[in-house]
A and B are shown apart, each in its own frame.
Chain A
Amino acid sequence: MPACAGERFKPSAYIPVATAACLLVGSSTLFFVFTGPWLAERICLAVPVCAGVVFFFVLANFTMATFMDPGVLPRAGEDEDKDDDLRAPLYKNVEVRGIQVRMKWCTSCHFYRPPRCSHCSVCDHCVEDFDHHCPWVNNCIGKRNYRYFFLFLLTLSVHMLAIFSGGLLYVTEHLEDLWALEATVTVVVMSISGLFFLPVLGLACFHLVLVARGRTTNEQVTGKFQEGVNPFTKGCYGNVKSVMCSPLSPRYIGKQRKKTPIKIQPPFKRPESDRETPVKIRDNGVQTNIIPNKAVEGVNEPDSQRLSTPPPLPPKPDPVLLRNHLAALEESLLYSRSSFPSAQPAGTLRPSLDPLSKLGPLSSREEVRQTMETIMQTGARTQDFSSDPNLGFPSSTMPLNSLTLNSRSLSLRHAHRYRDRPPLSSQTSEALTSTGLASQSLRLSPSVLTSRGSSLSYDSLLGPGENGSQRGLPLLGYQAPYFPLDSGGLVLGLSRGPEPQRHSPHTRSPVFMGMTRQSPQPREPSPVRYDNLSKAIMASIQERRELDERDKLTQRHSPAALGYAPDAGVYDTPSRRSLPPEGFRGPPSRGPTPPAYGSREFLMSSAAYGYGSRVGLSCSSTSSLSRAPRIACSSTSSLSRTPRNNSCSSTSSLSRAPRTSSSPLQSHPPGGITTQDRSLSPSYHSIECHLQESPSAMPYSPTSYATPRGLSFISDTETRDEPP
C-alpha cells in the first residue's frame, strides 16, 4: 500500500486489504496444516506441494500488486504550466494510430493526462494506464503492476479451486466425524473459499477478456470503445504478450537520481544558419556587408542593421518619430488629390511627379525608367530636404545612383520578404537593374498591398481616380533624400520592408507606379536614412497592422469592449486575455471538446448517465472552448507575439504543445461545439458519479456478479475515481 499523496491516515481504507490478507493467509495456512497432511498421505505428496507453490505465487503477486508503484506520474512543475488554468482548454486531442484520442487536463497534477492515464481520487495522483483502484490491495492498478494484479487473480482462482477441491475430498472421506478438529477447520476453509471463489473467478475472467481486447477496466466501464475502435489494441496475441512479457517500467517518483551539475557559461554558441542570410541578400545583386540579424527578417529591430554601402549613412532613426511619421503618412494616403497642392511644403517638386502620374500600375520597366530619369532631371537642382542636415547627399550629383541605391535597398527588403525569388542580375547594368528591381518590387507590391487595409489596397493603386492617385504606399522614406523634388521621395511599391528608415513626416509616398501624388499634409522634415529607416517604418507599419488585425478580431468576436463571444470558438484571439463572459462562469473554466474515440457511444453513454448534471462544466464549456484554440489561432496573431504565445506555440505545449493537437478543435465550427458538447461532453468523473448512484446500470457487470460483494467491489472502484 503506497503512501497516498494526501498525508491523512485513513484506517478505513485498510480494512478491505487487511481482511483480504487475513483471509488469504489464514485460510491457506489452516488448509496446509490440517488438510494437507491427509492429502499427502491419501493421494500424493505432490498435491499439497503444488498447492503450496501456487500459494507462494499468490502471495508474491498479491504483495507486488499491493506495494508496487502503479505508474504514478509526478505532478508537473509550475514552469511547465505557463498558462493559467483558466486559459488552457480542458481537453486536447491527439492522434493515436489515426484515431483521435482526448487528453484531459488534470487540475491536480497540472498536465494533460497522457492517453489511458487517469487520476485516482483515492490516492490523489495520476496513474499511467490506469485500470482501477482496488480496495482489496488498497492500491491503484496501473501500468506497472497490472500484470501482477492479473496474475494474482489467476493464481488466486487456482488456489481457491485447489483448496476447495482438497477440502471437499477430505470432507467426503470424513463425513462420519465432521466435528473433529481437522474436519471442522476444513469445512470452515472450504466455505470461505467457496464463498469467494465465484466472484474472484468472475473477476479473473473479466480481466482475461480485458487483456485479450487490450482495454483497461476504466475504458470498459466508461464504455469508451463500445462502438468505436480501440487504438491501443495490438491484436489478441499482441495484447497478451504486452501484458505478460513487457519489461517492468521504471518508477517516476521517489527516486533521487544523482545528477552531475553542468556548468553553463556564456558566451553561447549560435547556430551557423544565422550567417547565411546575408548571402541571400547578396545574391539579389545588393552589394552589402550585411551583419546577420533577426531584424533582417522583418522583426522590429529598427536600429540593429545597416547596409554598408558606399554613401554615408545618416544617423539612426528615432522609432517614435518614425511611427508618428508613418501614422501621418497613412492618413495622408487617404487624402484626395485636390488637397495635395495646398499641403505641399515650399519647394517640393510637384511637377516632377506628373511624369509619375502618367505611369499606370502596369507600366513597363522602360516607362518607369524614363519617368524616373525625367524626374531626376527636373528635380535635380532642388534641394528640398533641409530637414536632414546629415543627408548631405547631393541629389543633383547622383540621382541615378540614389535611385539605384533605393532600388537596391528595396530589393534588399524584398529579398528578405521573398527569399525564394531568383537572385537578380548584377549591378553592372545598374540603371536598368534598378528600375527592373523597382518594377519587380512594384510587382511584388500587389500581393503585399492587398493584404493591407484600404488605404494601401491595390485597388486604390489601380484606380487613378480622384483618390487613386493620392493613395499610395506608406512611404519608404529613405528615398526622400534622393528625390528631394518630390518631397515624399518615391515609394517603389512596397508596403513593408525590413529596413528602418528615418522618415520625414511630411514626405508622402508617391508610389512609383503612378501613385505619385504626394500626401497633401505638411509634415515637418526629419532626417532620412535611406536604408535603416525603412526598417523602422516597416516595423511600425507592421505594428499598426497587427493592431488593426487585433482590433478587427476583437470586433468580430466580441461586441463587448473586452470580452469575446462565447461562440468564437477556435477563432478567438489568442493574445486576448480570455475573460469568460458573464453567466458562463464555472469553476476552472474549461470546456469539453468533442468526444474522442468511440464518439457515438460516448455520447450515448454520457446521455444515458444523465450528463446534464455536470452543469458547471457544461456552462463553462463555451467560454473555455473559445479559449481553446489559443494555440490554434497563433497564426493570426503571430505578429503580435506575447511571451505567452511563444511558449504556447512551441510546445505544446503543452496544451498546448503541438498545434496538431488543437487542429481538431479548429475544424469544428464554434457553434457546433457549443451546442453539441455542452450536454454531451463525456467525462469519466461524471459517468462514474452516475455509476455510483446507479450501480444497477453498470453495463458490464456480469450476471455472476450479482452478489453484493461483486457489486460493491465495482461500485467502490468507481467511487474512487477522478475528482470533480
Chain B
Amino acid sequence: MATEFHNLQELRHSASLANKVFIQRDYTEGTICRFQTKFPSELESRIERSLFEDTVKTLNNYYAEAEKIGGQSYLEGCLACTTAYLIFLCMETRYEKVLKKISRYIQEQNEKIYAPRGLLITDPIDRGMRVIEISIYEDRGSSGSSSGSSSTTSSSGR
C-alpha cells in the first residue's frame, strides 16, 4: 500500500505475530467438515477476498471428498473388518490420504499466497478440525514512513 515510501536501504524488517483470525466451522449442513467462507474483517487489508474464499472453498471440497460415504469407504471398512482391522497398521485410509493432500495444499497456499502477505494458515487438523487459524504477521523493525503505513494497517489486526 505504501510501498512507495520504502527505502530499501533503510529497511530492516522482521515479522512479528500480531493477531490470529479463526475461521469457524459451518454447521449448517450437519456435522460434516465445512468451514465458513465469510471473509473476516481483520483480513480486509491483507488479502483479496477472492483468494481467501478460494482457499476455504477448496479446503471444503477436499474435506467433502474425504468424508464421502460411498463404495470405496464401504469396501475399506469391510476389508478392515475382515482383517481384524490389522489393515490399519499397514495401509493408509482414504481420509488420511486426503488429509495429506490438504496439508500439501495448505503448504503451497502459504508459500505462494499467504506468506507474501504476512499471513499463515494453520492446518485445521492441528486444531481438531474446529477452526482454520490464520496468523497475521506485522512488519516490525522497519524504518521511516513504511513503519507508519504498517502501523496503520496493523490497526486492523488489533
Contact = CB atoms under 8 A, between A and B. Distances in A.
Given A56-B84, A111-B130, A264-B137, A650 B40 contact: yes
A559 interface: no
B41 interface: yes
B95 interface: yes
Contacts of A262: 107, 110-111, 115, 120
Interface in A209-242: 231-232, 234, 241-242
A248 B73 CA distance: 8
Interface residues of B, number: 79
B66 A232 contact: no
A593 B14 CA distance: 45
Contacts, number: 201
Nearest to A649: B41
A429 interface: no
Nearest to A60: B84
A41 B142 CA distance: 89
A271 B47 contact: yes
A304 B81 CA distance: 67
A436 to B, nearest CB: 33
A114 interface: yes
A299 B69 CA distance: 50
Interface string A135-159: 0000000000001100100000000
Q: Which of A151, A241, A264 has the largest number of chain B CB atoms within 10 A?
A: A264
Interface in A245-295: 245-250, 252-253, 257, 260, 262-275, 291-295
B152 A250 contact: no
Interface string A512-553: 000000000000000000000000000000000000000000
A80 B20 contact: yes
A111 B138 CA distance: 26
Contacts of A643: 158
Contact of A59 (B84, B133, B150, B152): B84
Given A129-B31, A247-B95, A263-B115, A274 B69 contact: no
Interface stretch (A195-203, A652-660, A708-716): A652-660
Nearest to A245: B74
Contacts of B24: 651-654, 657-658
A270 B117 contact: yes
Interface residues of A, number: 75
A266 B69 contact: no
A64 B22 contact: no
Contacts of A654: 22, 24, 131
Given A80-B20, A269-B116, A114 B84 contact: no
A250 B115 contact: no
A649 B13 CA distance: 30
Nearest to A80: B22
B96 A250 contact: yes
23 contacts: A74-B128, A95-B27, A96-B31, A97-B28, A97-B29, A114-B31, A247-B76, A247-B94, A248-B76, A248-B93, A262-B107, A265-B115, A266-B140, A266-B142, A268-B46, A268-B117, A270-B46, A270-B117, A270-B153, A272-B48, A291-B2, A294-B155, A657-B24
Given A262-B115, A651-B21, 11 more contacts: A57-B81, A232-B30, A247-B66, A250-B95, A253-B128, A268-B46, A293-B152, A294-B153, A650-B22, A651-B24, A657-B22
